[in-house]
Structure 1
């Protein structure tokens, strides 16, 4: 029985795992590490390509929604929280000038009753 000859160069394995090899440049290595970390954290390595697209699209939509909320809603909420904190601390809706005059008077050692 004749022996089969092994070809000099074998075809690339399937599936192709070349993306798991460490890149040579520092910048590519940084992004490669980040990609491997994300894929391992969210178990993206076990998904098929179309499933990865669906999961990453959902993450992108959630990220954009959170970013929009933080840019549009958070500043307004912080102003509201500051006003409510002043109300809870001093019992009435003080204007900001009254707060600053109170703080400056305490710094200078002036009796607050003199200001009122």
Structure 2
């Protein structure tokens, strides 16, 4: 009984897969220039050479793409772990480099404005809160005086003395 062959224009799927595997092996068996510095190596982000490469701390701190491995030194490894946590928390690894720059500019601008607001507004707000607290605790006489004067009068009314040998408040 003769075996049935498909028409010549139809190639079985398994043959295509074998040819594709041979083609992939051929492409991945190219020599890799691993001795070249990382900034000049023309490797794709997902290539085997990039996977095997040992990054430097500068790659972790200033590179757009996060390296796969941590650097050898402790500071670089710490920065790599922190950046990995940060990028995975905010899904920055899914963005293009220009989107990362845009997002980080917006986030840094908002944080800078927040810190400026805290530094400018917080000291006056703390004094207002202490005055309000003195008013709630001691009534109108506590709100008119300063904090130290009010506390010393409050301690004197309780019979507590502070200060030198004379017992002055």
Both structures adopt the same fold (TM-score exceeding 0.5): yes
Are residues 1:65 and 2:113 paired?
Answer: yes
Query: Residues of 2 paired with 1:38 and 1:107: CA distance?
Result: 55
Q: How many residues align?
A: 107
Query: Residues of 1 paired with 2:106 and 2:99: CA distance?
Result: 11
Q: Which structure has the higher relative contact order (CA within 8 Å, separation 6+)?
A: 2
Q: CA deviation at 1:22?
A: 1.6
Distance 1:61 1:98, change over 3 A: same
Query: Residues of 2 paired with 1:94 and 1:102: CA distance?
Result: 14
3-state secondary structure, aligned to 2:158? helix
TM-score (norm 1): 0.77
Q: CA deviation at 1:98?
A: 3.2
Rg comparison, structure with higher value: 2
Query: Residues of 2 paired with 1:42 and 1:15: CA distance?
Result: 20
Q: CA deviation at 1:108?
A: 2.1
Aligned residue in 2 for 1:49: 97
Q: Which runs of no fewer than 5 residues in structure 2 stay unpaired?
A: 1-21, 34-41, 52-66, 162-169
What does residue range 20-99 of structure 1 map to in structure 2 within 5 Å?
Answer: 20-92=68-140, 93-96=143-146, 97-99=149-151
Write out the 4+ residue segments of structure 1 that deviate beyond 6 Å after TM superposition: none
TM-score (norm 2): 0.55
